[in-house]
Amino acid sequence: MGSTEVTFFPGDRRGGGEFSADTQTAGSVGLLIQVALPCALFSTTTTILQLRGGTNAEMAPQFDYTTEVFRPLLERFGATFDYKLLRRGYFPRGGGEVHIRVNPVRQLKPIKMIDGGKILRIWGWAFVAGTLPIKLASVMADSATVALQRAFKGVEINIEAYKEREEDAVGNGSGINIVAETTTGCILGASGLGKRDVRPEQVGKQAADDLISTVETGACVDPHAQDQMVVLMALADGISQVKVGPVTQHTETAIYIAKSLSEAKFNIIKQGPNSNIIECTGIGLLNPV
C-alpha cells in the first residue's frame, strides 16, 4: 500500500511444467490466466495451470468470456490454450477450479482487424447456481433477447437459460454472457452478473446494451478485449492493427507498461468521435523451442 515505484529485474525464461494458484477468495481466475499466459506461451515446454478462485467475478472477465471471446482472438496470433472447467465459484466464497493447458509457440503473428463487418449471429447463456431459481436466468435471457432483437432485426439470436448442477458450482451465483460474430469474423462479447439489489431484467438488458454500443462504434473487439490484446501485439512479429471504439484507461495503461518493458511502438489512429485504430510494431519475440 502506498507504493509509487516498481523495479523489475527479469531473469531467464524457464521451462513449462505444472503450476497452481489459489486466490482463496472469489478473486478472478480469468485474471490469473491473463498474468500467466504470455509467459506460458514462450516457455520451452507445455505448461499446465491449476487455478482456483472466482470463475464469474465482478470487475474481471468471466471465465466464459475468456474461452468464447478472448481465445478466438488469441488464435489469430497463432496461439491457443485448452481448458477444463472443474467447478464454478462465485462471490464471496470463490472455490471455482479451472485447469489450463498451454503449448509454447515459436513466435506470435501480427494481426489486422480493421473491418468490423455486420452482425451475423448472436448467442449466449444466462445462468443461476445454488439456491437461486432458474426463473431468474430466464428473465435475464428474455430481457437481453428483446433488446437485441430491436437493435439487430433479422439477425439470428439464441440466448439459453440454465441452472448449474449442484456438484458443478460452489455457492449462489447468476449472470449472463453474450457473444456476437460478424461477417468479417470479429467476435464481440458482453456480460453481466446478478446482484441482490439489481433486478434480473436490468442485468440482461445492460449486457445487451453494452454489446449494442460496441457494435455501433464499428469496433472489431469489445472494450474488455482491448487491453488484453496489447501484450500480444507487443510480442508479435510485425505491425498489428485493431479497430476499437473509445480507448479505455485499461488499454492506455497496458500500452504504457508494454512500451516501458519492451521496444514495441504503439500509435492510436483516430477514425471518428468513437472509433480508433490501435497500431503496434511488435518486437517479434522468438522462442528458442
Residues 125, 210, single domain; the answer is: yes
Catalytic residue positions, numbered: 250
**HSE, side-chain direction, 13 A CA sphere, residue 43:** 19
CB neighbour list of residue 86: distance below 8 Å, 6 or more residues apart: 97, 98, 99
Give me the DSSP letters along 62-83: -HHHIIIIIHHHHHHTT---EE
Domains identified in the chain, total number: 3
Residue 110 belongs to domain spanning? 106-116+218-289
Instruction: Supply the CATH number for residue 260's domain.
Output: 3.65.10.10
The structure's pTM equals 0.94
The one-letter amino acid at 148: L
Residue whose entry in the numeric block shows the C-alpha cell 507504493? 3
Residues 239, 177, single domain; the answer is: no
Task: Please list the pLDDT of the chain residue by residue as tens digits (289 residues).
Answer: 899 998 888 887 777 899 999 999 999 999 999 999 999 999 999 999 999 999 998 889 999 999 999 999 999 999 999 999 999 999 888 999 999 999 999 999 999 999 999 999 999 999 999 999 999 999 999 999 999 999 999 999 999 999 999 999 999 999 999 999 999 999 999 999 999 899 999 999 999 999 999 999 999 999 999 999 999 999 999 999 999 999 999 999 999 999 999 999 999 999 999 999 999 999 999 998 7
Can you list the alpha helix ranges (DSSP code H) found in the chain? Answer: 29-41, 63-65, 71-76, 134-151, 200-216, 223-235, 249-261
Residues 127, 112, single domain; the answer is: no
Bridge partners of residue 242, in order along the sequence: 113, 278
Residues 16, 51, single domain; the answer is: yes
Residues 125, 187, single domain; the answer is: yes
Instruction: Supply the CATH number for residue 93's domain.
Output: 3.65.10.20
Residues 160, 206, single domain; the answer is: yes
The reply to whether omega before 92 is within 30° of 0 (cis) is yes
Picking from 73, 105, 137, the residue at the C-terminal end of a domain is 105
C-alpha 193/C-alpha 200 separation (Å) is 9
